[in-house]
Structure 1
């Protein structure tokens, strides 16, 4: 059974998600969120500093929290499919969220969580000392993969999530497991 605090947080999240499907992010106010949730404004601030923190919390809970369990079990492909499926299942919300730009952009939130995800994966696989003859560290390689997957996700969202998550995951695996020469010169 949920505590009163958890129920209040859930009301705020549900309210915000609903408003995001109806309005652009910049038009949504804290008052709109609390009115929709039938709460008073201080209730919002008891849980979140602002709507950017709320968005980040939703992304973490909705997408990345479950991915951590898969990483802990060394299930990399399943982790990527899980992330894509969670976005696909809530595509109306995430297509709108993707349009948030600036210092606290949706893209920066996704990148931050993907970086953490890849760093956790490398840690679980015990390849922290992985390097390319001193050129790249495990952290730098995590950065590389995070940026690539962020671009992949944002492009998918910009196109309206028209390709199913499982097909997109297959295409991502192809990119990861083939050289540029294979992709450009040989049909896959």
Structure 2
């Protein structure tokens, strides 16, 4: 029942975001739209931003569960981009309602585990220190965050998705190559 209530609150917020910006939506708006009381909202979430965080975390986890290894991670990221495009009003409202550092930190928090897993998978047969694995992971995370932020800055135009696809193309194989460079310099 708890997951259903959370999802109902999430659906209400998404629906409200079609009509107004995140900073104009109140908890009263959400509970009225959802048909629950304020106490139910506060039982599950601290505030509207906590609900937004739950939406992204829940949806991204679902989208990425089968796409976190070296052979298909970019397909998972592409699914996230498609999700963001489908939920454009939610994403852009969040983008315009929080500061850039918060959003970058959030993007890093969901990209880092994926890329860390991939780096560790590729490096398992190599002799590379944990420090260098983390460095390589951070480089790729920052590169992707930069592209995501630029895409959102320009209101997520579909024609810019090709640029992100090119990023994935550039990254394909380059993780193994980069790790190989670190192995050579041990």
TM over 0.5: yes
Question: Is the Cα contact below 8 Å between 2:67 and 2:73 reproduced in 1?
Answer: yes
Deviation of 1:123 (Å): 3.5
Partner of 2:133: 138
Deviation of 1:12 (Å): 0.4
Deviation of 1:103 (Å): 8.7
- TM-score normalized by structure 2? 0.77
Gaps of 5+ in 1: 180-188
Deviation of 1:61 (Å): 1.9
Counterparts of 1:55 and 1:140, CA distance in 2: 30
Deviation of 1:51 (Å): 1.9
Deviations 1:62-81 (A, max 9, x none): 22432132114741221221
Matched, 1:147 2:135: no
Deviation of 1:100 (Å): 2.8
Partner of 1:35: 32
Counterparts of 1:155 and 1:37, CA distance in 2: 34
Matched, 1:20 2:39: no
Counterparts of 2:157 and 2:127, CA distance in 1: 37
Partner of 2:116: 119
> Which of 151, 154, 161 is the matching residue for 2:156?
161
Deviation of 1:113 (Å): 0.8
Distance 1:102 1:21, change over 3 A: same
Counterparts of 1:40 and 1:48, CA distance in 2: 13
Counterparts of 2:44 and 2:147, CA distance in 1: 32
Partner of 2:104: 107
Distance 1:109 1:135, change over 3 A: closer
Per mean C-alpha deviation after superposition, the further-off stretch among 9-18 and 115-124 is: 115-124
Gaps of 5+ in 2: 175-186
Matched, 1:173 2:146: no
